């Protein structure tokens, strides 16, 4: 197959033409070629695009059987199992995905993430925490914790080895895009978070503050953090408040990370996080050094 074959397949799927994508795959199929993560992922996406979620599992499982599976293979399996209502398989495949990205603690401790918003960032976070965010001990603040994806990783990989503390702020009521989803979790969001944190064995290094960040952040005035992760409400009017309050809590030379830089809702532009981030960066620009931007924006406060 030509190198760009799978790109073409993906474009067809994105354009709502999964049948045409499957026809191209069938026409180019070579049974002698070992299934690989890229072909498995694209073939599964094409099959899922036709509505056949059970069928979508097959190419991904074939990649596992052939020994070529990677993070994305397990991550996709987790997603398809969730859409099929098979939550146990979702949890297991998320853990197996994490192990592929050097986070075996997730499998060993049995963390439970029905919706995993964090792990695709692991490799880039590893790099950031190795090269840039090197404070030791480290005081970290997270706005928006959900089921504890980023919090458990930070406890396992950063806070526990270096010492320090992680403060998590969340109302545990979900964000605006979670409407309709919260009832499907089967358990209270905060209970899932608590269980995952307890399983890390590092719960003593975490402070949980329950409530809206726009109310809690001003009460932290006088505290200082080396790293602040903003991943709470997506509405620009809330993100700008989170950013401004947090900036005053950041040590000189400390780092602030924004999630959802490119978050865009055609029908709900008030939820476009990027509007607030762009405004914040333009207003505070003389105190900011932009470190990296790959879906998430990493800034450093001038010393
Ligand atoms: C995308 S999730 C965070 C994902 C999390 N960092 C992870 O790694 O899985 C957003 C979280 O922000 C919380 N949230 C939304 N609006 C908030 C607000 N105004 N104050 C505090 N938490 C909020 C939601 O309850 C939700 O758990």
Q: Whose CA is nearest to atom 20 of ligand 1?
A: 212
Q: Which residues line ligand 1 (CB under 6 A)?
A: 117-118, 144-147, 149-150, 169-175, 212-214, 231-233, 238
Task: Determine the atom of ligand 1 nearest the C-alpha atom of 115.
Answer: 9
For residue 212, the CA-to-ligand 1 centroid distance in Å is 9
CA of 231 to the centre of ligand 1 (A): 6
Which residue has a Cα nearest atom 6 of ligand 1?
145
Q: What is the pLDDT of residue 56?
A: 97
Looking at the predicted structure, is the pLDDT value of residue 35 above 90? no
| pLDDT at residue 1, rounded to an integer | 66
**pLDDT over threshold 90, residue 179:** no
Q: What is the pLDDT of residues 239-272, one digit of tens each?
A: 999 999 999 999 999 999 999 887 777 778 778 8
Of 61-65, 260-264, 284-288, where does mean pLDDT reach its minimum? 260-264
The rounded Å distance from CA 4 to ligand 1 centre is 37
Tens of pLDDT along 66-102? 999 999 999 999 999 999 999 999 999 999 999 999 9
Query: Ligand 1 center to residue 88 CA distance, Å?
Result: 23
9: CA distance to ligand 1 center in Å? 34
Per the model's pLDDT, the better-predicted residue between 177 and 14 turns out to be 14
CA of 1 to the centre of ligand 1 (A): 43
| pLDDT for 176 beyond 80 | yes
In which band, very low, low, confident or very high, does the pLDDT at 180 lie, cut at 50, 70 and 90? confident
Q: Domains in the chain and their CATH numbers? A: 5-100 (1.25.40.10), 119-301 (3.40.50.150)
- pLDDT at 3 (0 to 100): 66
* Nearest protein CA to atom 27 of ligand 1, as residue: 146
Instruction: Let me know how long the chain is.
Output: 303
Average pLDDT over all residues of the chain: 95
Mean pLDDT over 5-32 rounds to 93
Reply yes or no on whether the pLDDT at 203 is more than 80.
yes
For residue 210, report the distance from its CA to the centre of ligand 1, in Å.
11
**What is the atom index within ligand 1 of the atom nearest the CA of 232?**
12
pLDDT over threshold 70, residue 147: yes
Query: What atom in ligand 1 is closest to the CA of residue 142?
Result: 6
Q: What is the pLDDT of residue 300?
A: 98
Distance 191 CA to ligand 1 centre (A): 14
**Which of 232, 263, 271 most suits a substitution to test ligand 1, by most atoms within 8 Å of the C-beta?**
232
Percent of the chain with pLDDT over 70: 99
**Ligand 1 atom having least distance to the Cα of 116:** 9
State which ligand 1 atom lies nearest to the alpha carbon of 153: 8
**Low-confidence winner among 2-6, 13-17, 208-212, 283-287 (lowest mean pLDDT):** 2-6
Q: How confident is the model at residue 228 (pLDDT cuts 50, 70, 90)?
A: very high
Q: How far apart are CA 257 and CA 33, in angstroms?
A: 42
3-state secondary structure of 70: coil
């Amino acid at each position: 197959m030509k190198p760009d074959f799978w790109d073409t397949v993906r474009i067809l799927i994105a354009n709502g033409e999964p049948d045409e994508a499957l026809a191209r795959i069938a026409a180019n199929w070579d049974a002698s070629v070992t299934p690989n993560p890229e072909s498995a992922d694209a073939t599964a996406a094409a099959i899922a695009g036709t509505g056949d979620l059970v069928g979508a599992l097959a190419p991904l499982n074939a990649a596992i059987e052939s020994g070529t599976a990677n993070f994305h293979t397990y991550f996709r399996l987790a997603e398809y199992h969730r859409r099929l209502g098979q939550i146990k398989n979702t949890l297991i495949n998320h853990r197996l995905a994490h192990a592929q990205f050097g986070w075996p603690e997730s499998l060993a401790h049995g963390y439970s993430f029905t919706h995993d918003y964090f792990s695709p960032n692991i490799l880039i976070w590893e790099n950031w925490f190795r090269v840039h965010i090197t404070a030791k001990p480290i005081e970290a603040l997270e706005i928006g914790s959900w089921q504890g994806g980023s919090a458990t990783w930070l406890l396992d990989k950063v806070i526990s080895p270096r010492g320090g503390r992680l403060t998590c702020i969340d109302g545990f009521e979900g964000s605006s895009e979670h409407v309709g989803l919260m009832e499907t979790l089967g358990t209270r969001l905060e209970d899932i978070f608590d269980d995952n944190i307890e399983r890390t064995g590092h719960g003593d290094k975490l402070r949980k503050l329950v409530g809206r960040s726009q109310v809690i952040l001003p009460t932290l005035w006088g505290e200082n953090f080396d790293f602040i992760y903003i991943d709470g409400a997506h509405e620009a009017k809330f993100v700008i408040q989170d950013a401004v309050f947090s900036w005053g809590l950041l040590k000189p030379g400390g780092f602030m990370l924004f999630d959802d830089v490119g978050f865009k809702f055609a029908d709900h532009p008030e939820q476009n996080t990027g509007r607030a981030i762009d405004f914040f960066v333009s207003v505070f620009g003389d105190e900011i050094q932009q470190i990296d931007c790959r879906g998430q924006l990493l800034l450093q406060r001038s010393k």
